[in-house]
Chains A and B, each alone.
Chain A
Amino acid sequence: MSGTELRWQLRQLPREIDPPHDLWPGIAARLRPARKGRAWFAGLAVAASLCLAVGVAWQQGPAPASDPQAELVRREAQALTREYQAALGQFEGAPLPAAIQPALATLDRSVAEIRQALDSDPGARFLLDQLRRTYSRRLSLTQRAVTG
């Protein structure tokens, strides 16, 4: 066998080979169950848990104010916005592709419109849901753009 032929044969060897056994159980047994995630991921988790809390509070919580429903929506919207801004802050300074800027701008406009609508109709729970979903989309799009 010539040197050229040998090198060609080596290049033709399969890049993937099935292990003879399933090695996953041995790996899984050695993984620690709880690990600290990335900062932005923690931010998303906080935002997600907050969204859940909004729903629970909405269903269970009696509000002390004269217009309890409106007060609850207002406070939850504020909390949701704080958490969203904290999560988004994790991406501050990261380069974003120009191609997604229009989509981000559209989502930002939607956020502004939803918040204006909430000011006009503070008891509208569906607006709170809209705000949560729009924040989630904005975070998700930013996250995908940053992390590639």
Chain B
Amino acid sequence: MLDTAVDLHATSADIPVSPREEDHALVRAAGGGDVRAFEQLYRKHSRRVFAVLWRLCGHEARAEDLVQEAFVRAWQALPGFRFESAFSTWLHRLAVNTALMELRARSGGEALEIDDAALDAHATPDSAGQRTALRVDLERAIATLPPRARAVLVLYDIEGWKHEEIAAELGMAVGSSKAQLHRARQLLRTRLGEDDERD
């Protein structure tokens, strides 16, 4: 009689758990106030979040602040997580939104700026091979783009967002998103060409 339940329990315990299920279990625990479960989520996802925030804001120290802000906001928003999407997708959106909040608040005039501070921060020479050198040059060039153009390029060309999504997130028209992307790519090619000529 009671053996049935025991056998079934043993069978269910053998079912492999997907990363998504693992995350959802941690989210359920963290949503109930389990800080250790939330720390595990941080350990699993902080590198991904840092990468996108670092590229969006162009400054390492500022990216660190934004990562912390994003995870605090995620903790506060966990009770609203509906388990319909992967936690990583939800967190990624929340983190990007955190980074874009200040960008949305900026005036349009700043869109023409070239970020000299970011240029300095990324100017570390690299000697680990041509591919790595190219990647570093590319990262450095991205960081020097004007903020809005940089955001559109990062989200479209690196993160794979659609123009409609970017436009909604940045509070701009779809046509403006496309124009910013075109401008960002041209600036990048110019920037990388300048580096080639200097080398």
A residues neighboring B (CB under 8 Å): 1, 3, 6-7, 9-21, 23-24, 26-28, 30-31, 33-38, 41-42, 45, 103, 106-107, 109-110, 113-114, 117, 130, 133-134, 137, 141, 143-144, 147-148
B residues neighboring A (CB under 8 Å): 1-2, 4-5, 8-9, 12, 20-21, 24, 28, 31-33, 35, 38-39, 42-43, 46-48, 50-51, 54-55, 60, 63-64, 67-68, 71-72, 75, 79, 83-84, 134-135, 138-139, 153, 157-158, 185, 188-189, 192-193
Interface centre among A10, A130, A141, A143 (most CB of B within 10 A): A10
Are B33 and A35 in touch, CB under 8 angstroms? yes
Q: In angstroms, how far is the closest chain B Cβ from the Cβ of A131?
A: 10
Given A9-B138, A11-B158, A137-B12, are A31 and B5 neighbors across the interface (CB < 8 Å)?
no
Which residues of the partner chain B approach A7 to less than 8 Å between Cβ atoms?
157, 185
Which residues of the partner chain A approach B24 to less than 8 Å between Cβ atoms?
147-148
Are A30 and B9 in touch, CB under 8 angstroms? no
Are B5 and A20 in touch, CB under 8 angstroms? no
Are B2 and A113 in touch, CB under 8 angstroms? yes
Chain B interface main SS type = helix
Are A24 and B12 in touch, CB under 8 angstroms? no
Given A6-B188, A137-B9, are A113 and B1 neighbors across the interface (CB < 8 Å)?
yes
Which residue of A23, A36, A110 contacts B5 across the interface (Cβ within 8 Å)? Answer: A110
Which residue of B20, B21, B39, B185 contacts A28 across the interface (Cβ within 8 Å)? Answer: B39
Which residue of B4, B33, B84 contacts A34 across the interface (Cβ within 8 Å)? Answer: B33
CA distance A114 to B42 in the complex (A): 43
Which residues of the partner chain B approach A37 to less than 8 Å between Cβ atoms?
31-33, 79
Given A38-B31, A38-B32, A38-B79, are A30 and B8 neighbors across the interface (CB < 8 Å)?
no
Q: In angstroms, how far is the closest chain B Cβ from the Cβ of A108?
A: 10
Are B2 and A114 in touch, CB under 8 angstroms? yes
Are A27 and B42 in touch, CB under 8 angstroms? yes
Given A24-B42, A148-B24, are A103 and B8 neighbors across the interface (CB < 8 Å)?
yes
Are A110 and B2 in touch, CB under 8 angstroms? yes
A-B contact pairs, 18 of them (CB 8 A): A1-B189, A6-B188, A6-B189, A17-B51, A17-B54, A19-B46, A24-B43, A27-B42, A30-B72, A31-B38, A34-B33, A35-B31, A35-B33, A41-B32, A42-B32, A113-B2, A147-B83, A148-B21
Q: Determine the residue in chain B with the shortest Cβ distance to A144.
A: B21
Which residue of A12, A16, A31 contacts B48 across the interface (Cβ within 8 Å)? Answer: A16
Are A15 and B42 in touch, CB under 8 angstroms? no
Q: In angstroms, how far is the closest chain B Cβ from the Cβ of A74?
A: 19
Q: In angstroms, how far is the closest chain A Cβ from the Cβ of B88?
A: 11
Are A10 and B51 in touch, CB under 8 angstroms? no
Q: Determine the residue in chain A with the shortest Cβ distance to B131.
A: A12
Q: Determine the residue in chain B with the shortest Cβ distance to A21.
A: B64
Are A117 and B1 in touch, CB under 8 angstroms? yes
Which residues of the partner chain A approach B1 to less than 8 Å between Cβ atoms?
110, 113-114, 117
Are A11 and B51 in touch, CB under 8 angstroms? no
Which residues of the partner chain B approach A106 to less than 8 Å between Cβ atoms?
4-5, 8
